[in-house]
Each structure stands twice: as C-alpha cells, then as structure tokens.
Amino acid sequence: MIAEVLKRKISRPFKGLVDYLNGKPGRVETSFFLNASFDDFDLNLKEIKAFQTVARSGADKTYHFVLSLREGEKLNNDEIRRAVKMQLKALGYENHQALVTAHNDTANFHIHVGVNKVCPETQKTITPYKDFEKLDKTCEKLEKIFGLQPDNRIGQGTHKTKRLYDGRQSFQEWVSDLSPEIVNRVETVKTWGELHSELAKFNLGIRPRGAGFVIADLNNKLFMKASSVDRMLSKKSLESRFGKYETPGLTALPKPVLKYEGIPKGVKKQDPLFKEFKARETLKKQDRNKGLGMLYDKHNQKIISLKDWYSSCKKELEGNLFIQKRERYKILSHHRETMKQTLERYHSEFQDQKNKIIHQTKTTGWNDFVLEEAKKGRAEVLKLLRSTPKKTSPIKDNFISLENSRIILPGFHKVSRYGEFIYTFGKVQVRDTGKRVSFFGDLSDKEGLAKALKFVSDKNGKDLFVNGTRDFKGKVSEVIDRNKIDLKPKNLQRGRGHDQGR
C-alpha cells in the first residue's frame, strides 16, 4: 500500500473535489462520509461548506490523499473504513468530516479521501505536519493488519544502498547507479522538452512534489528526490536554467532504451534462475487475482441474497394486515438482528478465506527464493550465493581446508545468504563454505566435536589441513585419536596435541 498526498496550487471548494471523485459512477466502488452529521449526501456537503465558509484562514481548507494497493489486491467496505480511520487519526483528523471514495478503474484499486481541514470544534484550519511520513508509516501497519503484500517504503529516505524488502535492487539504487549517465545528458539539454525526452529514454520523468522535484518511473509509483541524484536536478538549479517548470508536451516521448525492473545485483535479466523466479511470482500473482476475484464475487452475492431476503420479509410483513403493529415491529427487529449476525458471520468467513488465499499465494521474494533453492543443493544457486562479497574477520578462524568438497545436505539447519551450510552437533557448530569448514561454539564439547569431525571425514575423506589456534589443533588431534576417526590431518602429529606445521 502506498499513500500519496495530492496538493493544488489553487484551492477549490470541497464540492469541486466531490464532483471529480463521484462524477463518473462507473468507476466508483464505494463512497461514504465519515464523522458527518447526516445520512443524506447533499446535507453533509452543505454542512462542510458552512464550516469552510466560517473559517477565517485563507489557506486551502480541503485535504486530499490517496491510498493505492498493489495490482490484484482489494479491500472490502469494512476494511476501507478501518484503514481510512487509522490514517485520519495519524494525521490528527480523527474528528474531521471526510469523504471516502474507492475507484476500480485502474489496475491498482485505490481509495481517495477528501478531508475538511476545518476543525468542527474550534473552526480552525489544521494542516498536518510531516503528513507523508505519517501516512507512509500507517500504510506499513495496514499491510500487516490486512495481509497485503509489502510495498517498497519509498517515503523513508533515498539512501543509495537501500534495497527492496526481498533483496532486489531498489528504484533509488538503480537511479543512483545510473546518475552519471543522467547528469551527462542533462548537461547537454537547453529546454524542459529536451530534458523530458532525455529522461524518457530511461523510462523516467521529472515532476514537482512538495517544495521540490522528484525523479519518477513513468509506469510505476516509484520516485526519489531529484536533488539526491545530483544538485544539478534541484528545482532551483533547473528553473534558473529553463525557467518555470513545464509539463511534457503533447508530442510522443521517445521509447525507453532502459528501464527499472528490480533485478538483483549480480544477476542478469536473462539469467535462467531469475527467469524461473519471475515465472513463479507471476503464477502466484495470477492465482491470487483469480482466487480473490472469485471470493469477492461470492461474498457480494451472499450479501445481495441476504438483503433480498430481508426486503422480502419486510414486504411480506407490511402486506399482512392480520398482524398487529407491535407484533410486526417485534418480528422485523428479529429479522434485522438475524441479518446483522449473518452479515458479521459472512464478513468473518470472508476475512478468513481472504487471508488463506493471500497466505497461499504470498510472494517469496528473491532472497527467500534463492535460499530455498540452495537448500535443495542446486549448484548454480550455491555458486551465485558464494560469489557474494563477504567481509572477512581479522580474527583467525578454527577451520579445516577441504580438497575435494562435495555437497552433503542431510542434517543441516540453515543456509546463510553467502551459500554456507550451517550444521549443529551438540554445542559445536560447523559452517561449510564449500572450500573449508569452520568450527564455532563450545569446542570443549568433546562429543559434539567428535560428531563434527566424523561429518568432515564423511564429506572429504582422509587428507585434511587443520588451521587455527594451538588449543584447537590439540583438541582435534585428541578427539581423532580417542574416537578413532578416519582422518589424516597433514599438519598435525597424531597423539601429541600440538602444531607441527608451525
């Protein structure tokens, strides 16, 4: 879920926003007021107009923001109401009148919220401080509450090394890597139109946001502060060169030669492993869309049938002249309570089934996908993980070098992000990198160390080279002798417990 604040340089009356949001009924999924005094739509509009007329401030008295979900995801009316109330509370608008309108006319289900900034109690016009940060943090909470797929938290900094939650390269990092090429092209342009054309070659655009400019992806809701790419792209710098900002003209922009695709670093787009990952994610997305679509249709049909049943009962009672008015009211109240309880059960069942579908079709993410495949012993996956640069510790490890390493999977507990298999034997841990096995934990656990050395014997054979402290080498020699493990360390003299290789 992503939040976006829509600001206008010229203020407009609340009714103007209402006409825009509800002007095309075909795209409206649902529309309702919060914190309003009346059930009647027009009366609520008149009340808001009255409040805004009384307020003395000359500032814009209408606040407008949008909550946009990922493609294929959707919220029902109760979830929309809960989500908007949480956002209003975060902004300090929990008691302000608000119009909530959900649109379904794009691939991303989105919710518009128009708020009367005039406080109904004090008649003061309130503008929230750091509103985008508050909206963004609440979006993160809502994703967890409703089981939505996490979005890249684009509102929380643009650090060059920031990555997506699943290990792929973030939009900010991709643009930062591309910044030298962008700057070179910006230096040659002389007008806003030329700038828009050059950026479009990377599927990028520049547009105002807040007090400055952002660099944005033309197809996705991804952007970053323009001046963080280079100071040359700041609002002050660009407008001093080209004059006041101009939107892209009517002429078609050039087709992009390069675009952001969220590919992990060190992996190529045509890599079979990445293509396999994308195919799985696409299939899960299709299954989720299909499952949720069928669920929503079924849920809506159940509600329609229930309302039809209630209307039928009500009509039948009204037409029965032999039932007294008091008795009719009692029967109708019973039917109304039955409908309320049934609706609650329907919504509870709907939420359970929705969470089940979301859980079953939950996207794995690149990191989890690679680690799961590594557990299967796939050589190409391990090669990829083990090619990842790793900081080496200045402290000498206790390890045994392997000459003819092979993968032994049974018994391992986990795989690290560097392709290391980690085994546990009592209080002793063994980390297998493919070229050596390192020993960690409590090495005084002789039984655990014996099992670990037997594991090494099974893995590599007899000829080994032991490295580490004198104490470690002594323990290895002692455990090999005591347990008659079939190992022949090249640099240890058996039975002495000291280093002959030094």
Q: What is the pLDDT of residues 93-138, one digit of tens each?
A: 999 999 999 987 776 788 999 999 988 888 888 888 888 888 988 9
Q: Is the confidence at residue 77, as pLDDT, over 80?
A: yes
Residue 497's pLDDT is 40
Q: pLDDT tier at 325 (50, 70, 90 boundaries)?
A: confident
Q: pLDDT tier at 390 (50, 70, 90 boundaries)?
A: low
CATH placement of domain 2-146: 3.30.930.30
pTM of this structure: 0.51
Q: Is the confidence at residue 427, as pLDDT, over 50?
A: yes
3-state secondary structure 176-239: HHHHHHHHHHHHHCCCHHHHHHHHHCCCEEEEEECCEEEEEECCCCCEEEHHHHCHHHCHHHHH
Q: List, in sequence order, every beta strand (DSSP E) within 94-143.
A: 98-103, 110-116
Q: pLDDT tier at 489 (50, 70, 90 boundaries)?
A: low
* H or E element in which residue 319 lies: helix 272-319
Residue that the structure tokens 């109304």 belong to? 336
Residue 400's pLDDT is 52
Contact (CB, 8 A) for 372 and 364? yes
- The pLDDT > 70 percentage for the chain reads 84
Q: Is the confidence at residue 496, as pLDDT, over 50?
A: no
Average pLDDT, the chain: 80
More confident residue, 402 or 207: 207
Residue 298's pLDDT is 92
Q: Is the confidence at residue 401, as pLDDT, over 60?
A: no
Residue 96's pLDDT is 92
Longest CA–CA separation in the chain, Å: 110
Average pLDDT over residues 46-54: 86
Residue 80's pLDDT is 93
Q: Is the confidence at residue 394, as pLDDT, over 60?
A: no
Report the alpha-carbon distance of residue 498 to residue 386 in Å, rounded.
33
Token pair belonging to 346: 């329907």
Q: pLDDT tier at 425 (50, 70, 90 boundaries)?
A: confident
Q: Is the confidence at residue 478, as pLDDT, over 50?
A: yes
Average pLDDT over residues 377-399: 66
Q: Is the confidence at residue 156, as pLDDT, over 70?
A: no
Q: pLDDT tier at 441 (50, 70, 90 boundaries)?
A: confident
Q: What is the pLDDT of residues 160-193, one digit of tens each?
A: 333 444 667 788 888 888 888 998 888 999 999 9
Minimum mean pLDDT range among 53-62, 241-250, 301-310, 462-471: 462-471
Contact (CB, 8 A) for 495 and 481? yes
- The pLDDT > 90 percentage for the chain reads 19
Average pLDDT over residues 218-226: 83
Domain ranges of the chain: 2-146, 171-242, 272-360, 389-489
Long-range contacts of 81-85 (CB under 8 A, 24+ apart): 81/32, 81/34, 82/145, 83/111, 83/142, 83/146, 84/34, 84/111, 84/113, 85/34
Amino acid at 327: E
> Taking phi first (over 0 means left), then psi (-120 to 50 degrees means alpha), and beta for anything else, what does residue 329 get?
alpha
Minimum mean pLDDT range among 6-15, 33-42, 339-348, 493-502: 493-502
More confident residue, 403 or 446: 446
Minimum mean pLDDT range among 45-54, 88-97, 334-343, 409-418: 409-418
